[in-house]
Amino acid sequence: MSTRITKPFFAYRSFNKELETVKRFYEAGIRQFCVFSSNTTNSLGQNYSEYPFNWYFFNEYEFEHVDQQIQDILDIAPDAEILFMIDLNTPYWLVRQLQGTLCDSMLGLTDALTTPAWRDAVTKYMHDLLTHVETTFPGRIAAYILACGQTDEWMDYSKGRELACKLKAFQEWSKAHGYEIPECIPPISRRFRSDAPLGLRNDEQDAESLRFWRFVSATVADSIAYFAREARKLIPDTTKLGCFFGYILELCGGRLVECGHLAYEKVFSLPELDFFISPGDYEDRDMGGAAGAMSPNGTIHLKGKNYFHEIDHRTSTGSMVMNKHVTLPWMKRWANEKEDIAGLRREYCLSLFHGASLWWFDMWGKFYESQALVDEIASFKRINDRLGDITRQPEAEVAVFVDPDSTFYVDDSYINPDTNLPMNLYRRLLNNLNRLGAPYRVYSFNDIPAIADLDRIRLAILPGFFKVTSEKEAILKQYLLKQGRTILWTYAAALSDGTKSTHAHMEELTGVPYGTTDMRTVQQDGWTSVFAPSTAAIPPDVLRTMALSAGVHLFTDEAEPVWYCNGLLMVHTIKSGKRCIHLKRPAVPHILLGHPVDEHPTDCIEYDFDAPETLLIELEEA
């Protein structure tokens, strides 16, 4: 909705004051800083902010604490732009005032969102806060971020528990959608019922459960829409507005469906919102991995919005000490400064190649104690000033199409150790793809008709495509199942048409019968069908072989992360030594991050890697 065209945000953030680090980032050229003026505590029960709370009771504020937090930044960085996080979570006093409704939004987001008294109180607070900030610091706020739910990321941890207000909302939603009005929310025995071995719901036995979990995601999406509309009434059109959301690629056991992120396509389409934030994947942050967005960035691009990459990766100096009583020994840090540099380069390149904004999240401080790391970030900023582009996407011949409609069938409380579907369906699939040696994109299935360069895709992956309606099948046949393309299906496909089980249809669609437990390749009319019974069956080496067979260009001979787009190339590796980087066409390489090479036209860049290392090359057309 905002009209100002900008480069991607490039910012610094910390939970703590860290004013000395703010000064060093400012001296390094960073001009955007995040402020989080919180009234709540984190999942460890510790205050999110070192500044005092500002909301003390109904209509009772101490906004001077907000002013101080902003002014502390401006005293160090007088021309700074502020990215302001709005804490919509329930202060403890409001939890107690509404005690009959269990309105702790951190622990039960939909408990709060379906309670009118909670919404009224929080809306009034947001209105008063925004009015104050816009009056006191006019023109200073570059963006606002709506924060609510578990870890401020709009995640519902209520596990669908029944409350009076939630039941009423479910009944109203059911009536509006033409469903039979339920007498109650499905009890826990039905909410989490599924069929072995995959742990999938079916249309006949789990119809009400499927409707309920759709209601949960719809409630979160509609509430984000509500708060976005209310915020837009009070902030300039030129000010950006965003939130954390859409984590279908990351959430796993007990969270994939339950957390309420599956209506992300609706949220990404909201005209009031400009960007969506997520940290990098938490499981693939070690050297040799590539983390990646938790949301389908291809979908975000198609909606005309921006992805915002939260780089909260733990450097070797990062503090894991909350206070003298609370430490976080389970949070793994990179081992040394060499790994820090390779890792930060990799995360910056992820942002660059995906047109993403970013902030360097110095969570509890000390992440950037090394001046060498701040100097690195200064070099990234110079690159970003020249090359950062919110429209950039990887030039990929591989695409993953996730289907939130099918994902509702996954019982994310059911963990079969042999399949672990909630973890492996998307998250570990992308971890394997990170080592393909070629770039890939991630879209939602509904994006397919709108992808302008779909003809480029040689390998299309449809993980867990469980629900196939006649409309979906028509899209498959019109756009994907053609042109000699390879289609990879995982776990199962076409088990439902949306009203009944259709297990037999899997073989009609894919050429492979339901229940097949080994890898299968079936030549179809004009395309190749490949079935993998699990993510474990397609490790990086198998994916690389499959991609080569499909006609995908691999840039490296090793299974390692690669991004490529419009004359830019990144390689991240944990293997030292001299080897060839295979280009699609001859070009003159100019090293932006890494050591120099001969700058002459070539289609094979000879580079001597000193691992771990992340290499960024600008390619001049020969």
pLDDT digits (tens, 9 = 90+) for 160-188: 999 999 999 999 999 999 999 999 999 99
Do 577 and 431 lie in one domain? The reply is: no
Distance CA(520)–CA(511), nearest Å, equals: 9
Q: Is the dihedral of CA 153, 158, 164, 168 positive or negative?
A: positive
Pair 347, 417 in one domain: no
Phi/psi for 437 (5° steps) reads: 80, 15
Q: Does 603 fall in a domain? A: yes
**How many domains does the chain divide into?**
3
- Residue 324 makes CB contacts below 8 A (sequence gap 6+) with none
Q: What is the pLDDT of residue 272?
A: 98
Kindly state whether residues 22 and 140 are assigned to the same domain.
yes
Burial annotation 134-150 (CB, 10 A radius, 16+ → b, else e):
beebeebbbbbbbbbbb
What CA–CA distance (Å, rounded) separates 194 from 189?
A: 10
Residues 231 and 127: their CA atoms lie apart, in Å, by 7
Residues 376 and 410 in one domain: no
Q: Which residues of 411-427 are buried (b: 16+ CB within 10 A; e: fewer)?
A: bbbbbeeebbbbbbbbb
d(CA 412, CA 404): 13
* Cα 390 to Cα 6: distance, rounded to the nearest angstrom: 8
Among 498, 523, 550, the domain-final residue is 550
Instruction: Give the whole-angstrom CA distance, residue 351 versus residue 279.
Output: 11
Residues 421 and 504 reside in one and the same domain: yes
Pair 404, 504 in one domain: yes
Indicate whether 383 and 415 sit together in one domain: no
State the residue range of the domain holding 526.
398-550
Residue 180 neighbours by CB under 8 Å, 6+ apart:
174
* Domain end call among 495, 521, 550: 550
Peptide bond into 561 cis (omega under 30): no
- Those residues with Cβ within 8 angstroms of residue 468's Cβ, 6 or more apart along the chain or in another chain: 476, 493, 494, 496, 497, 502, 505, 509
Same domain, 467 and 590: no
Q: What is the C-alpha end-to-end distance of the chain, expressed in Å?
A: 41
Q: Is 620 exposed, middle or buried (0-12, 13-18, 19+ CB in 10 A)?
A: exposed
Whether 180 maps to a domain, the answer reads no
Size of the chain, expressed as the number of residues it contains: 622
Q: Is residue 185 part of a domain?
A: no
Give domain status of residue 468, yes or no: yes
pLDDT at 302: 98
Judge whether 184 lies within some domain: no
The one-letter code for the residue type at 352 is L
Residue 33 lies in a domain: yes
Residues 492 and 543 in one domain: yes
Q: Which residues of the chain have pLDDT under 50?
A: 1-5
Q: Are residues 52 and 116 in the same domain?
A: yes
The answer to whether residues 501 and 572 belong to one domain is no
Query: In terms of Cα–Cα distance, which of 249, 311, 371, 401 is closest to 8?
Result: 311
* 96 membership: H or E segment, kind and range: helix 92-97
Q: What is the DSSP letter of 165?
A: H
Instruction: Look at residue 116 and tell me if it is in a domain.
Output: yes
The DSSP letter of residue 150 is B
Residue 614, helix vs strand vs coil? strand
What pLDDT sits at residue 44?
80
pLDDT at 370: 96
- Closest Cα partner for 11 from 2, 21, 3, 1? 21
Angle at which helix 116-136 crosses helix 64-76, to 10 degrees, equals 40
Q: Which of 516, 550, 584 is the last residue of a domain?
A: 550
